[in-house]
Amino acid sequence: MPAILFGSISTLADTSELQRQAFNQAFTEHGLDWNWSQEQYRSMLGSNGGAQRITDFAADQGVEVDAAAVHATKSRLFQELLSEVALLPRPGVRETIAHAKAAGHRIGFVTTTSKANVDALLTALEPEIDASTFDVIVYDDHVDEPKPAPAAYLLALDWLGLEPADAVAIEDNIGGVRAALAAGLRCIAFPNANTAGADFAEATDTADHLDADRVVALAAA
C-alpha cells in the first residue's frame, strides 16, 4: 500500500501568515522592536526552524536574545491564533486524502514542528481533518535532527514498513523538499503564501492546487 506524506503544517492549511503574525507578537511581548515584514519573512524561509531564524536575525542585529524563550512564546501565540480563526484545508487537500484512502493508500503527516502545534492545527481543521485521518504522525520529539535532514521521513517510512519508492511527499518549503529527496522520496512542492516565489526546481512536481489523481498516481508509480 503506497503512502502520501504531508510534510508540514502549511501543506494542510496555509498558516504561513499566522506564523509571521505570531513571531511579531512574540517580539513585542519580549520587548524587542522587531517587526518582520512579509518580504523579510519570505527571505528567511529557505531554512527550517523558527528558533534558528530568531537566533540568526538577532546575530544580524548585533543583539543577544533568548531565542528559545521567544520561540516558545511564538508557538503559544500561534496555537492561540489557530483556535481563533476559521481554518480551511488548502485546495485539493480534502480530495487528495479521500481519493488516496479510496485507493487503499496510507496517509502520513511528517513534520518537525512540535506536537502542540500539530494538535492545534488538527483541532482547528476538525471535523474535516483530524488525527484519525493519518496512519502515522511524526513531530519534533520523534527525531534528533529537524528538516532538511531526512530523519523524520525515514522514521515515517520505517513505521509504515515502506521503501522510499512506495511513497510521495508533499512539501511547502525548500528545506522540506530537500528532506524528502534526501530520504529517497518523490516530492511535490506545494508552496504556501510566503514560499510561492522560491525555486522548487529540485522537486518532482510543483503545484498550487493538489490534483488528487496526480498525487495518487505519483505515490503508486
pLDDT in tens, 60-85: 999 999 999 999 999 999 999 999 99
Residue 177, pLDDT > 80, answer: yes
Both 71 and 149 in a single domain? Answer: no
How many domains would you assign to the chain?
2
Is residue 70 domain-shared with residue 129, that is, in the same domain? no
**Cis before residue 148, ω within 30 degrees of 0?**
yes
Q: How many CA atoms lie within 13 A of 49 on its CB side?
A: 16
Same domain, 58 and 114: no
Same domain assignment for residues 56 and 165: no
Residue 100 shares a structural domain with residue 207: yes
Residue numbers of the domain that contains 55:
16-84
Predicted TM-score (pTM) of the model is 0.93
Structural domain ending residue among the three candidates 84, 109, 124? 84
Q: Which of the listed residues 63, 84, 105 is the one where a domain comes to its end?
A: 84
99-134 residue pLDDT tens: 999 999 999 999 999 999 999 999 999 999 999 999
* Beta partners for residue 168, in sequence order: 4, 186
Please determine, for residue 221, whether its predicted confidence score (pLDDT) is greater than 80.
Answer: no
- Both 45 and 112 in one domain: the answer is no
Domain identity same for 63 and 160: no
The answer on 210 and 111 residing in a single domain is yes
Last residue of a domain, one of 38, 56, 84: 84
60 and 140 in a single domain? The answer is no
Which residues contact residue 140 at a Cβ distance below 8 angstroms, ignoring those fewer than 6 apart?
A: 111, 112, 113, 114, 115, 146
- Mean pLDDT of the 142-163 span: 96
For 10, residues 6+ apart whose C-beta sits below 8 A from its C-beta are: 16, 90, 172, 173, 192
The answer on 78 and 137 residing in a single domain is: no
Average pLDDT in the chain: 94
**Are residue 59 and residue 119 in the same domain, yes or no?**
no
CATH of the domain at 190: 3.40.50.1000
pLDDT in tens, 36-48: 999 999 988 876 6
Angle between helices 16-29 and 50-61 (to 10 degrees): 50
